[in-house]
Structure 1
Amino acid sequence: MNHLIVEELEPITLVGGGELASGALEEALALAPVLAAADGGAVAALAAGHVPQAVIGDFDSLPGDVRGRLPPGSLFPVAEQDSTDFDKALRRIAAPAVLAVGFLGARVDHQLAAFNTLVQGHPAPCVLIGETEVIFHLTHAVELPAEAGEVISLFPMQEVTGRSEGLEWPIGGLRMSPMGRIGTSNRATGPLRLVPEGPGLLAIVPRRLLAEVVAAVRLDLGQDLRRG
Protein backbone atom coordinates (compact mmCIF):
# COMPACT_ATOMS: atom_id res chain seq x y z
CA MET A 1 0.00 0.00 0.00
CA ASN A 2 1.33 3.47 -0.91
CA HIS A 3 1.34 6.06 1.85
CA LEU A 4 -0.42 9.26 0.80
CA ILE A 5 1.78 12.35 0.90
CA VAL A 6 -0.52 15.03 -0.51
CA GLU A 7 -4.21 15.10 0.39
CA GLU A 8 -6.33 18.04 -0.82
CA LEU A 9 -10.02 18.75 -1.34
CA GLU A 10 -9.25 20.85 -4.44
CA PRO A 11 -7.34 19.91 -7.62
CA ILE A 12 -3.56 20.18 -7.45
CA THR A 13 -0.84 20.92 -10.00
CA LEU A 14 1.99 18.41 -10.48
CA VAL A 15 5.09 19.51 -12.37
CA GLY A 16 7.57 17.12 -13.94
CA GLY A 17 11.10 17.51 -15.20
CA GLY A 18 10.23 17.37 -18.90
CA GLU A 19 9.50 20.15 -21.34
CA LEU A 20 6.97 22.69 -20.06
CA ALA A 21 4.36 23.74 -22.61
CA SER A 22 4.08 27.49 -23.02
CA GLY A 23 2.09 29.00 -20.15
CA ALA A 24 0.98 25.56 -18.96
CA LEU A 25 2.24 25.87 -15.38
CA GLU A 26 0.50 29.19 -14.76
CA GLU A 27 -2.68 27.94 -16.46
CA ALA A 28 -2.68 24.86 -14.27
CA LEU A 29 -2.01 26.84 -11.08
CA ALA A 30 -4.94 29.15 -11.87
CA LEU A 31 -7.21 26.09 -11.63
CA ALA A 32 -5.22 24.14 -9.03
CA PRO A 33 -3.04 26.43 -6.88
CA VAL A 34 -1.47 23.75 -4.64
CA LEU A 35 1.79 22.69 -6.29
CA ALA A 36 3.65 19.38 -6.04
CA ALA A 37 6.65 18.22 -8.05
CA ALA A 38 7.84 14.87 -9.35
CA ASP A 39 11.60 14.69 -8.74
CA GLY A 40 13.34 17.11 -11.14
CA GLY A 41 10.10 18.98 -11.67
CA ALA A 42 11.13 20.97 -8.61
CA VAL A 43 13.81 22.61 -10.76
CA ALA A 44 11.20 23.92 -13.20
CA ALA A 45 8.95 25.01 -10.34
CA LEU A 46 11.66 27.05 -8.65
CA ALA A 47 12.78 28.54 -11.97
CA ALA A 48 9.21 29.78 -12.47
CA GLY A 49 9.17 31.31 -9.00
CA HIS A 50 7.11 28.64 -7.23
CA VAL A 51 8.02 26.46 -4.25
CA PRO A 52 6.31 23.04 -4.38
CA GLN A 53 4.50 21.87 -1.27
CA ALA A 54 5.86 18.37 -1.83
CA VAL A 55 8.59 16.85 -4.01
CA ILE A 56 8.15 13.13 -4.64
CA GLY A 57 10.51 10.76 -6.47
CA ASP A 58 13.75 8.84 -6.34
CA PHE A 59 15.63 12.17 -6.59
CA ASP A 60 18.03 11.01 -9.28
CA SER A 61 17.12 14.16 -11.25
CA LEU A 62 17.14 16.56 -8.30
CA PRO A 63 20.49 18.40 -8.00
CA GLY A 64 21.89 18.92 -4.51
CA ASP A 65 21.82 22.71 -4.80
CA VAL A 66 18.11 22.57 -5.65
CA ARG A 67 17.41 20.35 -2.63
CA GLY A 68 19.04 23.01 -0.50
CA ARG A 69 16.52 25.60 -1.71
CA LEU A 70 13.53 23.47 -0.74
CA PRO A 71 12.00 23.27 2.76
CA PRO A 72 13.25 20.01 4.36
CA GLY A 73 9.69 18.97 5.16
CA SER A 74 8.75 19.09 1.46
CA LEU A 75 11.10 16.27 0.38
CA PHE A 76 9.59 12.79 0.11
CA PRO A 77 12.05 10.28 -1.38
CA VAL A 78 10.72 7.04 -2.87
CA ALA A 79 13.67 4.75 -3.49
CA GLU A 80 12.18 2.01 -5.70
CA GLN A 81 13.14 1.93 -9.37
CA ASP A 82 10.22 -0.10 -10.76
CA SER A 83 8.10 2.93 -11.68
CA THR A 84 8.53 6.42 -13.08
CA ASP A 85 8.56 9.50 -10.85
CA PHE A 86 5.23 10.48 -12.41
CA ASP A 87 3.70 7.21 -11.25
CA LYS A 88 5.36 7.46 -7.83
CA ALA A 89 3.83 10.90 -7.33
CA LEU A 90 0.33 10.04 -8.56
CA ARG A 91 0.15 7.01 -6.27
CA ARG A 92 0.78 9.26 -3.30
CA ILE A 93 -1.64 12.10 -4.11
CA ALA A 94 -5.32 12.18 -3.15
CA ALA A 95 -7.22 15.09 -4.69
CA PRO A 96 -10.28 15.68 -6.90
CA ALA A 97 -7.93 15.94 -9.89
CA VAL A 98 -4.25 16.38 -10.78
CA LEU A 99 -3.19 18.79 -13.53
CA ALA A 100 0.18 17.54 -14.80
CA VAL A 101 2.67 19.71 -16.66
CA GLY A 102 6.22 18.91 -17.73
CA PHE A 103 5.55 15.29 -18.67
CA LEU A 104 5.26 15.79 -22.45
CA GLY A 105 7.66 17.29 -24.94
CA ALA A 106 11.27 16.56 -25.76
CA ARG A 107 11.61 12.78 -25.22
CA VAL A 108 9.22 10.34 -26.87
CA ASP A 109 9.99 7.58 -24.35
CA HIS A 110 8.95 9.89 -21.51
CA GLN A 111 5.69 10.70 -23.28
CA LEU A 112 4.92 7.02 -23.84
CA ALA A 113 5.64 6.33 -20.17
CA ALA A 114 3.30 9.18 -19.19
CA PHE A 115 0.48 7.73 -21.30
CA ASN A 116 1.06 4.34 -19.70
CA THR A 117 0.92 5.93 -16.25
CA LEU A 118 -2.42 7.62 -16.97
CA VAL A 119 -4.22 4.29 -17.26
CA GLN A 120 -2.60 2.56 -14.26
CA GLY A 121 -5.22 3.60 -11.73
CA HIS A 122 -4.45 6.21 -9.06
CA PRO A 123 -6.30 7.91 -6.20
CA ALA A 124 -6.92 11.02 -8.34
CA PRO A 125 -7.81 11.44 -12.04
CA CYS A 126 -5.02 13.16 -13.95
CA VAL A 127 -5.00 15.53 -16.92
CA LEU A 128 -1.78 15.94 -18.92
CA ILE A 129 -1.32 19.43 -20.36
CA GLY A 130 0.59 19.70 -23.64
CA GLU A 131 1.38 22.55 -26.00
CA THR A 132 -1.96 22.46 -27.83
CA GLU A 133 -3.84 19.53 -26.29
CA VAL A 134 -4.81 17.95 -22.99
CA ILE A 135 -4.88 14.20 -22.45
CA PHE A 136 -6.81 12.16 -19.90
CA HIS A 137 -7.97 8.61 -19.21
CA LEU A 138 -11.62 8.28 -20.20
CA THR A 139 -13.07 6.30 -17.29
CA HIS A 140 -16.70 7.49 -17.43
CA ALA A 141 -19.02 9.46 -19.68
CA VAL A 142 -17.92 13.05 -20.24
CA GLU A 143 -19.51 15.97 -22.06
CA LEU A 144 -17.38 18.75 -23.52
CA PRO A 145 -18.31 21.95 -25.41
CA ALA A 146 -16.24 21.14 -28.49
CA GLU A 147 -16.67 23.22 -31.61
CA ALA A 148 -17.26 21.88 -35.11
CA GLY A 149 -13.99 21.04 -36.83
CA GLU A 150 -11.87 20.66 -33.70
CA VAL A 151 -9.62 17.60 -33.69
CA ILE A 152 -10.62 14.98 -31.13
CA SER A 153 -8.42 11.90 -30.80
CA LEU A 154 -9.05 8.69 -28.91
CA PHE A 155 -6.18 6.29 -28.38
CA PRO A 156 -6.69 2.80 -26.91
CA MET A 157 -4.03 1.57 -24.51
CA GLN A 158 -5.72 -1.85 -24.57
CA GLU A 159 -8.68 -3.37 -26.41
CA VAL A 160 -11.70 -1.23 -25.59
CA THR A 161 -15.03 -0.06 -27.00
CA GLY A 162 -17.17 3.00 -26.45
CA ARG A 163 -19.85 5.30 -27.77
CA SER A 164 -19.84 8.89 -28.91
CA GLU A 165 -22.07 11.81 -29.86
CA GLY A 166 -20.69 14.80 -31.70
CA LEU A 167 -17.90 13.07 -33.63
CA GLU A 168 -17.73 13.10 -37.41
CA TRP A 169 -16.79 9.41 -37.28
CA PRO A 170 -18.68 7.82 -34.34
CA ILE A 171 -16.93 5.11 -32.36
CA GLY A 172 -20.01 3.05 -31.48
CA GLY A 173 -19.61 -0.57 -32.54
CA LEU A 174 -15.84 -0.26 -33.03
CA ARG A 175 -13.37 -2.41 -31.12
CA MET A 176 -10.25 -0.30 -30.70
CA SER A 177 -6.82 -1.67 -29.86
CA PRO A 178 -3.20 -0.39 -29.88
CA MET A 179 -2.49 -3.32 -32.22
CA GLY A 180 -5.42 -2.53 -34.51
CA ARG A 181 -8.00 0.19 -34.99
CA ILE A 182 -7.32 3.48 -33.22
CA GLY A 183 -9.31 6.71 -33.09
CA THR A 184 -6.88 9.54 -33.79
CA SER A 185 -7.59 12.65 -35.90
CA ASN A 186 -11.36 12.47 -35.54
CA ARG A 187 -13.28 15.74 -35.67
CA ALA A 188 -16.02 17.24 -33.57
CA THR A 189 -19.27 18.26 -35.21
CA GLY A 190 -20.24 20.29 -32.13
CA PRO A 191 -20.73 19.58 -28.41
CA LEU A 192 -19.23 16.23 -27.53
CA ARG A 193 -20.24 13.23 -25.42
CA LEU A 194 -17.84 10.33 -24.99
CA VAL A 195 -18.80 7.12 -23.20
CA PRO A 196 -16.12 4.43 -22.64
CA GLU A 197 -17.12 0.81 -22.22
CA GLY A 198 -14.20 -0.32 -20.09
CA PRO A 199 -10.84 1.16 -19.10
CA GLY A 200 -7.86 1.98 -21.28
CA LEU A 201 -9.05 4.75 -23.62
CA LEU A 202 -7.13 8.04 -23.72
CA ALA A 203 -8.93 11.17 -24.87
CA ILE A 204 -6.88 13.92 -26.53
CA VAL A 205 -8.75 17.22 -26.90
CA PRO A 206 -7.90 20.89 -27.52
CA ARG A 207 -6.14 22.61 -24.63
CA ARG A 208 -8.72 25.39 -24.60
CA LEU A 209 -11.08 22.84 -23.02
CA LEU A 210 -8.82 22.32 -19.98
CA ALA A 211 -11.20 23.81 -17.41
CA GLU A 212 -14.12 21.81 -18.81
CA VAL A 213 -12.06 18.61 -18.80
CA VAL A 214 -11.07 19.14 -15.17
CA ALA A 215 -14.72 19.72 -14.24
CA ALA A 216 -15.72 16.56 -16.12
CA VAL A 217 -13.14 14.22 -14.58
CA ARG A 218 -12.76 15.56 -11.04
CA LEU A 219 -13.91 13.61 -8.02
CA ASP A 220 -16.16 15.25 -5.46
CA LEU A 221 -14.13 14.39 -2.37
CA GLY A 222 -15.97 17.00 -0.33
CA GLN A 223 -19.25 15.23 -1.05
CA ASP A 224 -17.70 11.93 0.01
CA LEU A 225 -16.58 13.48 3.29
CA ARG A 226 -19.99 15.02 3.92
CA ARG A 227 -21.61 11.63 3.37
CA GLY A 228 -19.12 10.02 5.71
Structure 2
Amino acid sequence: MKEVIIHSDTGITLVGGGEIGPGDMSLALRLAPMLVAVDGGAGAALAGGHGVHAVIGDFDSLTPRDRARIPADRLHLIAEQDSTDFEKALRSVSAPVILAVGFLGGRLDHQLAAFNGLTRFPDMRCILIGATEIVFHLPPSLSLGLAAGDVVSLFPMAPVAGRSQGLKWPIDGLALEPAGRIGTSNRALGEVRLETDGPGLLAILPRAAIESVITPLARSRCHAPAGQPDAPRPARA
Protein backbone atom coordinates (compact mmCIF):
# COMPACT_ATOMS: atom_id res chain seq x y z
CA MET A 1 0.00 0.00 0.00
CA LYS A 2 1.31 3.45 -0.96
CA GLU A 3 0.94 6.15 1.70
CA VAL A 4 2.68 9.41 0.86
CA ILE A 5 4.56 10.85 3.83
CA ILE A 6 6.69 13.47 2.07
CA HIS A 7 5.79 15.43 -1.07
CA SER A 8 7.90 17.87 -3.07
CA ASP A 9 6.96 19.88 -6.16
CA THR A 10 10.63 20.02 -7.19
CA GLY A 11 12.63 16.92 -6.29
CA ILE A 12 13.61 14.64 -3.43
CA THR A 13 17.05 13.28 -2.60
CA LEU A 14 17.07 9.92 -0.84
CA VAL A 15 20.23 9.07 1.09
CA GLY A 16 20.93 5.46 1.97
CA GLY A 17 23.48 3.78 4.18
CA GLY A 18 25.79 2.53 1.42
CA GLU A 19 28.82 4.12 -0.20
CA ILE A 20 28.50 7.87 -0.79
CA GLY A 21 31.14 9.59 -2.87
CA PRO A 22 32.51 13.04 -2.00
CA GLY A 23 30.37 14.82 -4.60
CA ASP A 24 27.23 12.68 -4.47
CA MET A 25 25.26 14.65 -1.91
CA SER A 26 26.05 18.07 -3.38
CA LEU A 27 25.10 16.90 -6.89
CA ALA A 28 21.83 15.35 -5.77
CA LEU A 29 20.78 18.23 -3.52
CA ARG A 30 21.50 20.81 -6.23
CA LEU A 31 19.04 19.03 -8.50
CA ALA A 32 16.58 17.69 -5.88
CA PRO A 33 16.81 19.87 -2.75
CA MET A 34 14.52 18.06 -0.28
CA LEU A 35 16.54 15.49 1.70
CA VAL A 36 14.94 12.29 2.99
CA ALA A 37 17.08 9.73 4.80
CA VAL A 38 16.50 6.02 4.39
CA ASP A 39 17.13 4.44 7.81
CA GLY A 40 20.87 4.51 8.57
CA GLY A 41 21.42 6.98 5.74
CA ALA A 42 20.49 9.61 8.30
CA GLY A 43 23.96 9.22 9.78
CA ALA A 44 25.63 10.16 6.50
CA ALA A 45 23.32 13.16 6.09
CA LEU A 46 24.00 14.44 9.60
CA ALA A 47 27.75 13.83 9.26
CA GLY A 48 27.73 16.01 6.15
CA GLY A 49 25.96 18.82 8.00
CA HIS A 50 22.64 18.33 6.24
CA GLY A 51 19.25 18.57 7.89
CA VAL A 52 16.73 15.87 6.97
CA HIS A 53 13.05 16.43 6.26
CA ALA A 54 12.24 12.84 7.19
CA VAL A 55 13.76 9.49 8.06
CA ILE A 56 11.93 6.44 6.69
CA GLY A 57 12.65 2.77 7.42
CA ASP A 58 12.52 0.02 10.01
CA PHE A 59 15.30 1.79 11.97
CA ASP A 60 17.43 -1.31 12.39
CA SER A 61 20.51 0.65 11.26
CA LEU A 62 19.63 4.07 12.67
CA THR A 63 21.90 4.59 15.67
CA PRO A 64 20.42 5.90 18.94
CA ARG A 65 22.79 8.87 18.75
CA ASP A 66 21.59 9.88 15.27
CA ARG A 67 17.97 9.23 16.19
CA ALA A 68 18.25 11.58 19.16
CA ARG A 69 19.42 14.39 16.86
CA ILE A 70 16.32 14.25 14.66
CA PRO A 71 12.95 15.73 15.72
CA ALA A 72 10.46 13.00 16.58
CA ASP A 73 7.91 14.22 14.03
CA ARG A 74 10.44 13.57 11.26
CA LEU A 75 10.92 9.92 12.20
CA HIS A 76 8.64 7.59 10.25
CA LEU A 77 8.98 4.01 11.41
CA ILE A 78 7.72 1.32 9.01
CA ALA A 79 8.31 -1.92 10.86
CA GLU A 80 7.20 -4.54 8.32
CA GLN A 81 9.94 -6.77 6.95
CA ASP A 82 8.42 -7.68 3.57
CA SER A 83 10.17 -4.83 1.76
CA THR A 84 13.56 -3.13 1.85
CA ASP A 85 14.03 0.29 3.39
CA PHE A 86 14.57 1.69 -0.12
CA GLU A 87 11.18 0.32 -1.17
CA LYS A 88 9.57 1.71 1.99
CA ALA A 89 10.94 5.13 1.04
CA LEU A 90 9.85 4.90 -2.59
CA ARG A 91 6.26 4.18 -1.65
CA SER A 92 6.27 6.97 0.94
CA VAL A 93 7.46 9.93 -1.13
CA SER A 94 6.08 11.89 -4.05
CA ALA A 95 8.02 14.18 -6.39
CA PRO A 96 8.56 14.77 -10.11
CA VAL A 97 11.96 13.11 -9.73
CA ILE A 98 13.87 11.30 -6.97
CA LEU A 99 17.66 11.12 -6.80
CA ALA A 100 19.10 8.36 -4.63
CA VAL A 101 22.65 8.29 -3.24
CA GLY A 102 24.16 5.62 -1.03
CA PHE A 103 22.56 2.70 -2.88
CA LEU A 104 25.27 1.83 -5.41
CA GLY A 105 28.73 0.59 -4.50
CA GLY A 106 29.43 -1.40 -1.37
CA ARG A 107 27.56 -4.67 -0.94
CA LEU A 108 26.43 -6.31 -4.15
CA ASP A 109 23.24 -7.69 -2.59
CA HIS A 110 22.22 -4.16 -1.60
CA GLN A 111 22.76 -2.96 -5.17
CA LEU A 112 20.68 -5.80 -6.57
CA ALA A 113 17.95 -5.03 -4.05
CA ALA A 114 17.95 -1.41 -5.22
CA PHE A 115 17.55 -2.54 -8.85
CA ASN A 116 14.67 -4.74 -7.72
CA GLY A 117 13.12 -1.75 -5.97
CA LEU A 118 13.24 0.33 -9.15
CA THR A 119 11.49 -2.52 -10.96
CA ARG A 120 8.82 -3.02 -8.29
CA PHE A 121 7.95 0.70 -8.37
CA PRO A 122 8.07 1.59 -12.09
CA ASP A 123 5.75 4.54 -11.45
CA MET A 124 8.48 6.31 -9.46
CA ARG A 125 10.91 8.46 -11.45
CA CYS A 126 14.01 7.56 -9.46
CA ILE A 127 17.67 7.80 -10.48
CA LEU A 128 20.35 5.92 -8.55
CA ILE A 129 23.63 7.84 -8.52
CA GLY A 130 26.89 5.90 -8.40
CA ALA A 131 30.55 6.81 -8.67
CA THR A 132 30.62 6.62 -12.47
CA GLU A 133 27.10 5.67 -13.57
CA ILE A 134 23.42 6.35 -13.01
CA VAL A 135 20.63 3.76 -13.10
CA PHE A 136 16.90 4.30 -13.59
CA HIS A 137 13.78 2.50 -14.79
CA LEU A 138 12.78 3.38 -18.34
CA PRO A 139 9.30 4.84 -18.89
CA PRO A 140 7.22 3.94 -21.98
CA SER A 141 9.11 6.55 -24.03
CA LEU A 142 12.07 8.80 -23.34
CA SER A 143 14.26 11.08 -25.47
CA LEU A 144 17.74 11.88 -24.18
CA GLY A 145 20.30 14.38 -25.44
CA LEU A 146 23.35 12.15 -25.04
CA ALA A 147 26.82 12.64 -26.44
CA ALA A 148 28.00 10.48 -29.32
CA GLY A 149 29.92 7.56 -27.88
CA ASP A 150 28.16 7.53 -24.49
CA VAL A 151 27.70 4.00 -23.18
CA VAL A 152 24.02 3.07 -23.01
CA SER A 153 23.38 -0.21 -21.21
CA LEU A 154 19.87 -1.63 -21.02
CA PHE A 155 19.31 -4.41 -18.52
CA PRO A 156 16.00 -6.28 -18.38
CA MET A 157 14.67 -7.20 -14.95
CA ALA A 158 11.66 -8.86 -16.62
CA PRO A 159 10.78 -9.95 -20.18
CA VAL A 160 10.38 -6.74 -22.20
CA ALA A 161 10.61 -5.47 -25.77
CA GLY A 162 11.10 -2.02 -27.20
CA ARG A 163 12.41 0.21 -29.94
CA SER A 164 15.26 2.68 -30.22
CA GLN A 165 16.58 5.53 -32.30
CA GLY A 166 20.12 6.83 -32.02
CA LEU A 167 21.77 3.64 -30.72
CA LYS A 168 24.65 1.97 -32.55
CA TRP A 169 22.84 -1.35 -32.16
CA PRO A 170 19.03 -0.83 -32.27
CA ILE A 171 16.85 -2.92 -29.95
CA ASP A 172 13.87 -3.10 -32.33
CA GLY A 173 12.48 -6.62 -32.57
CA LEU A 174 14.57 -7.98 -29.70
CA ALA A 175 13.06 -9.93 -26.82
CA LEU A 176 15.03 -8.89 -23.74
CA GLU A 177 14.92 -10.93 -20.53
CA PRO A 178 17.10 -11.53 -17.46
CA ALA A 179 18.13 -15.07 -18.37
CA GLY A 180 18.30 -14.39 -22.11
CA ARG A 181 19.27 -11.50 -24.35
CA ILE A 182 20.34 -8.31 -22.58
CA GLY A 183 21.35 -4.92 -23.96
CA THR A 184 24.53 -3.86 -22.19
CA SER A 185 27.45 -1.89 -23.67
CA ASN A 186 25.52 -0.21 -26.47
CA ARG A 187 26.60 3.25 -27.68
CA ALA A 188 24.77 6.49 -28.35
CA LEU A 189 25.19 8.08 -31.77
CA GLY A 190 23.87 11.36 -30.36
CA GLU A 191 20.31 12.01 -29.24
CA VAL A 192 18.63 8.73 -28.24
CA ARG A 193 14.96 7.83 -28.11
CA LEU A 194 13.85 4.68 -26.31
CA GLU A 195 10.40 3.09 -26.21
CA THR A 196 9.38 0.09 -24.11
CA ASP A 197 6.28 -2.08 -24.35
CA GLY A 198 6.10 -2.69 -20.61
CA PRO A 199 7.93 -2.26 -17.32
CA GLY A 200 11.15 -3.97 -16.33
CA LEU A 201 13.95 -2.35 -18.34
CA LEU A 202 16.69 -0.47 -16.50
CA ALA A 203 18.95 2.09 -18.19
CA ILE A 204 22.56 2.46 -17.08
CA LEU A 205 24.24 5.64 -18.33
CA PRO A 206 27.37 7.66 -17.55
CA ARG A 207 27.00 9.79 -14.44
CA ALA A 208 27.85 12.87 -16.51
CA ALA A 209 24.55 12.40 -18.38
CA ILE A 210 22.38 13.02 -15.31
CA GLU A 211 21.37 16.56 -16.25
CA SER A 212 20.37 15.32 -19.71
CA VAL A 213 18.16 12.70 -18.06
CA ILE A 214 16.52 14.42 -15.13
CA THR A 215 14.15 16.81 -16.95
CA PRO A 216 12.81 14.42 -19.63
CA LEU A 217 12.42 11.68 -17.02
CA ALA A 218 10.55 14.00 -14.66
CA ARG A 219 8.16 14.90 -17.46
CA SER A 220 7.64 11.37 -18.71
CA ARG A 221 4.63 9.12 -18.42
CA CYS A 222 5.70 6.12 -16.33
CA HIS A 223 4.78 2.46 -16.38
CA ALA A 224 2.47 1.65 -13.50
CA PRO A 225 2.54 -1.47 -11.32
CA ALA A 226 0.68 -4.48 -12.76
CA GLY A 227 -3.06 -3.99 -12.99
CA GLN A 228 -2.96 -0.18 -12.89
CA PRO A 229 -3.02 2.40 -15.70
CA ASP A 230 0.26 4.07 -16.58
CA ALA A 231 1.14 7.02 -14.35
CA PRO A 232 0.64 10.37 -16.14
CA ARG A 233 3.23 13.10 -16.49
CA PRO A 234 3.39 15.25 -13.35
CA ALA A 235 1.77 18.66 -13.60
CA ARG A 236 4.99 20.35 -12.44
CA ALA A 237 8.56 19.22 -12.96
What range is the shorter-chain TM-score in?
Answer: over 0.9
Residue in structure 2 matched with residue 178 of structure 1 by the alignment: 178
Residue in structure 1 matched with residue 20 of structure 2 by the alignment: 20
Distance 1:193 1:122 in 2: 19
Shift of 1:34: 0.6
Distance 1:164 1:90 in 2: 28
Q: Is the 8 A contact 2:135 2:202 kept in 1?
A: yes
- 2:181 counterpart letter in structure 1: R
Q: CA RMSD in A?
A: 1.5
Could you state the TM-score of these two structures normalised by the residue count of structure 1? 0.94
- 1:138 counterpart letter in structure 2: L
2:82 is equivalent to residue 82 of structure 1: yes
Secondary structure (helix, strand or coil) at the match of 1:3 reads: coil
User: Structure 1 segments of 4 or more deviating over 4 A?
Assistant: none
**Percent identity (aligned):** 55
Shift of 1:189: 1.4
Q: 1:151 to 1:22 in 2, by over 3 A?
A: farther
Distance 1:102 1:10 in 2: 21
Q: 1:221 to 1:148 in 2, by over 3 A?
A: closer
Q: Is the 8 A contact 2:122 2:137 kept in 1?
A: no
Shift of 1:217: 1.4
Secondary structure (helix, strand or coil) at the match of 2:120 reads: coil
Segments of 5+ residues of structure 2 without an aligned counterpart are: 220-232
Residue in structure 1 matched with residue 111 of structure 2 by the alignment: 111
- 1:205 counterpart letter in structure 2: L
2:215 is equivalent to residue 210 of structure 1: no
2:153 is equivalent to residue 153 of structure 1: yes
- 2:150 counterpart letter in structure 1: E
Superposition pairs for residues 13-162 of structure 1, below 5 Å?
A: 13-121=13-121, 124-162=124-162
Distance 2:110 2:40 in 1: 13
Distance 1:146 1:63 in 2: 41
Distance 1:38 1:176 in 2: 32
Higher mean C-alpha deviation, range 53-62 or range 181-190: 181-190
Residue in structure 1 matched with residue 3 of structure 2 by the alignment: 3
Distance 1:189 1:217 in 2: 20
Could you state the TM-score of these two structures normalised by the residue count of structure 2? 0.91
- 1:218 counterpart letter in structure 2: A
Higher mean C-alpha deviation, range 16-25 or range 81-90: 16-25
Distance 1:115 1:45 in 2: 22
Segments of 5+ residues of structure 1 without an aligned counterpart are: none
Distance 1:223 1:30 in 2: 18
- 2:127 counterpart letter in structure 1: V
Distance 2:131 2:82 in 1: 29
